[in-house]
A and B are shown apart, each in its own frame.
Chain A
Amino acid sequence: MKTLNTMNKTSKNNFITYGIVLAIFIFCAVYIETDMATFLFKGLMVPICVNVILAVSLNLTVGILGELSLGHAGFMCVGAFAGSFFSMMTQETLTSVWIRFPLAFIIGGLSAAFIGLLVGIPVLRLRGDYLAIVTLAFCEIIKNIMNNLYIAKDINGLHFAIGVGAYNEIEFDAASKQVLINGAMGITGTPNDSNYFWGFALIFITLIVILNLVNSRTGRAIMSIRDNRIAAESVGINITKHKLIAFVISAFFAGVAGVLYSHNLSSVIATKFDYNYSILVLVFVVLGGIGSMRGSVIAAIILTALPEFLRDIGNLSDYRMLIYAILLIAMMLINNNDYLHQMTQGVLGKFRLGKKSKKNEQEGVS
């Protein structure tokens, strides 16, 4: 408790966030390992982790950098395919999942980060609506490229083709032919390495990296661009460089989430990573509170789990999406309700007052 008091407010806040995630992890671990969990619950673990990582990483772009990006699913798509492709290629040579899977994460993340860098250099010169439109288009372009990409290998090596026509013209050695990426059918046969353990480990890494970044010299520079670009320039902050750092790190973790996603089910198809998925992640960020990582974690968990659990509750299953929509509206109203906000602040304030008066007795009034 003493260490908590001496820490400053931001690191205290960060530790509360880590604590919440750790508590959820312990709960899930106990629930699953003692065999109390339903099939549905187990199946939901990885998608929840994927969405939490996506929400936290998008919050870096939207909340900390202050730029609207609608192409987060595109980076996820790049990561998913790169990671899956790597796992397919090395499945036989690297049998240990403890080596293969982390490598897949790094490769998926770096591919997404590289694409993020390529997209970011021209795109981050734009502001506001324009950036949103370009990232939206980027997401669709990536989706369509992946939808038409064929990669197969035979005894002569790897063969690439864009479009089914070009693919059919390739002459394969029939005996040794193995299709790796099959156009619209995507990748099938990815090893099912993902589980909730990897998921939570990645959530922790994502949170630590992003929260540490935000509370560093670089993070302050990024936030200063969000708050006032002209003033940031006037004190010598390099705008393009810091925008790129934030955007690329955001893309990296979207790629990592993609790898986790693609190793959950044995097949991955490009059409999953569409505009709707990008918007869904944005909904997590907005409802959780722009700039609040803890809010993103909680919103992503609730909004991923809820529609699935509603499916299970008897008569409610028909009204599942209706309830989901009502919940979204309710969260929005509650978030922006001044009266409720003051009330919760008042209640919390009373708790804090009690603590503070004790503290002041010890240290004297500050």
Chain B
Amino acid sequence: MSVMLETKNLGISFGGLKAVDGLSLSIEKGQLYGLIGPNGAGKTTAFNLLTGVYKPTMGNFFLDGEKLTGMSTIEINKKGVARTFQNIRLFKQMSVLDNVKVGLHNNFEYTAAEGIFRLPRHAKVEKQMNEKAIELLDVFGLAGEKDRLSSNLPYGKQRKLEIARALATSPKLLLLDEPAAGMNPQETQELMDTIRFVRDHFDMTILLIEHDMKLVAGICEEVTVLNFGTVLAQGETSSVLQNPEVVKAYLGD
């Protein structure tokens, strides 16, 4: 199996504070990988490094063997990294369908002038975009609500729409930031099925941050535990979660 994402000694410091310090991990293609740790451990900061929101002050990271360190968010997305956000960031005043079509933006091509003057390519490409977007929405059971305003969707569906939008950019690696936050046990169960389905159906590599240990234990094959920005433990999920150091970091002494 080939390595999809590899980080080598990745880190960033804000002034004197080392938010992430020497994160090294390697995720294989098609793997479901968990990134866990107590609040303030630097998990979301690590995501922001991997998506170019912050530029790392040390180390490098590679996607499919290609070095992405220092690239902008847009370039990194074009290379194949898509993400969702801890606090949902949908395009609230746009319809469900349009949200996904924004995700498809770079996969389909016609110029602004072709759109303004309604040249033939506009109709053709729009039709393809619609079909592709509805196909994606169908996977998440959202096709029936394509014309609704995205902000009017119930919480669980908003999470799913965000994943659909990320997948629309046809990434190689999907980063999910606390996908189960604020969900009840039943919704979480449903989400686990969805994540597994996405992995199998799209042949996707997924890295997720999560606090819900049931979800992590249920779907992640490997995990990395962060604490105060440094790696506390790394390896197979079941053995890491029983590691006394990890239990101590979560529950205190």
Contacts and interface: CB of A to CB of B under 8 A. Distances in A.
B90 A228 contact: yes
B69 interface: no
Contacts of B114: 216
Interface stretch (A108-116, A231-239, A326-334): A231-239
Nearest to B77: A236
A217 B108 contact: yes
Contacts, number: 97
Interface residues of B, number: 39
A236 B107 CA distance: 10
B54 interface: no
Interface stretch (B115-123, B183-191, B198-206): B115-123
Given A220-B102, A231-B90, A238 B74 contact: yes
Interface string A226-263: 11101111111110000001000000000000000000
Contacts of A216: 110, 112, 114-116, 122, 126
Contacts of B93: 223, 226-227, 291
A227 B116 CA distance: 22
B115 A233 contact: no
B103 to A, nearest CB: 5
Given A212-B117, A223-B91, A227-B92, A217 B51 contact: no
A236 B166 contact: no
Nearest to A215: B115
Q: Which interface residue of B83, B103, B105, B147 has the most chain A CB atoms within 10 A?
A: B105
- The binding surface of chain A is classed by DSSP as helix
Interface string B128-169: 010000000000000000010000000000000000011011
A76 B117 CA distance: 24
Nearest to A291: B93
Contacts of B112: 213, 216-218, 245
A217 B78 contact: no
Q: Which interface residue of A212, A215, A228, A238 has the most chain B CB atoms within 10 A?
A: A228
A9 B97 CA distance: 13
Given A216-B116, A217-B108, A236-B106, A231 B91 contact: yes
A216 B109 CA distance: 11
A221 B102 contact: yes
A231 B165 CA distance: 10
B101 interface: yes
A221 B116 CA distance: 14
Interface string A169-209: 00000000000000000000000000000000000000001
A235 B105 contact: yes
A219 interface: yes
Contacts of B118: 212
A115 to B, nearest CB: 20
A220 B98 contact: yes
A224 interface: yes
A216 B98 CA distance: 10
A235 B94 contact: no
Given A223-B91, A228-B92, A235 B116 contact: no
A218 B103 contact: no
B94 A227 contact: yes
B89 A236 contact: no
B164 to A, nearest CB: 11
B125 interface: yes
Contacts of A234: 51, 73, 77, 82-83, 85, 89, 166
A247 to B, nearest CB: 13
A233 B94 contact: no
A233 B90 CA distance: 12
Contacts of B91: 223-224, 227-228, 231-232
B73 A217 contact: no
Nearest to B75: A236
B105 A212 contact: no
B125 to A, nearest CB: 7
A236 B168 contact: no
A231 B105 contact: no
A213 B116 contact: yes
B74 A218 contact: no
Contacts of B125: 217
Contacts of A238: 74
A238 B112 CA distance: 13
Q: Which interface residue of A215, A220, A221 has the most chain B CB atoms within 10 A?
A: A220
14 contacts: A215-B115, A216-B114, A216-B126, A217-B126, A218-B115, A220-B98, A227-B92, A228-B89, A230-B85, A232-B91, A233-B77, A234-B73, A234-B89, A235-B77
